[in-house]
Amino acid sequence: MNNQLHIVIIDDDRFQVATLQKIISDTNLAETVSIFGNGQEAVDYLTTISNQGEGLPHIIFLDINMPVMNAWKFLELFTRMKRLLYRPIPIYVVTSSTAGTDMAQSRHHATVKGYITKPVNKEKIRQVLEAVAAE
């Protein structure tokens, strides 16, 4: 099992980010957690590291509603960008939205592997990380 996961969290809610970081830390599966307050910051970061050919995250946790760039615009740009990445990166939407339209929209993106509603469930996050670590 790979316990050296690099995890990216894209969320502007500091409380939610801190909660997710604590859960991730408790799993002992992550070496690095990178945090971005909006999709644009994450796109800029992924563009930079993809050009270097190393350092890609193993998983992205993505909030829907954020300033500057929301999840839908991020996913649109990420879909274009993923051809340049040297391996696939699964994305899990982590949001307070229980709207059926948001769930349906997330299913239309091939890179979105799951939809997790806030407040986050410790066991669900652990299962997701263990599955990614096992790959």
Per-run averaged pLDDT (10 residues), the chain, 135 residues: 82 93 92 94 90 82 92 92 82 85 82 89 92 87
Range of the domain at 27: 5-134
Q: Which pLDDT score is estimated for 3?
A: 62
H/E segment holding residue 62 = strand 59-62
Q: Which pLDDT score is estimated for 1?
A: 47
| Other CB atoms within 10 A of residue 87 CB | 8
Domain total in the chain: 1
Whole-angstrom Cα distance, residue 46 to residue 36? 11
Is-contact 9 34, C-beta < 8 A? yes
Whole-angstrom Cα distance, residue 69 to residue 41? 9
Is-contact 67 38, C-beta < 8 A? yes
The CATH number assigned to the domain holding 122 equals 3.40.50.2300
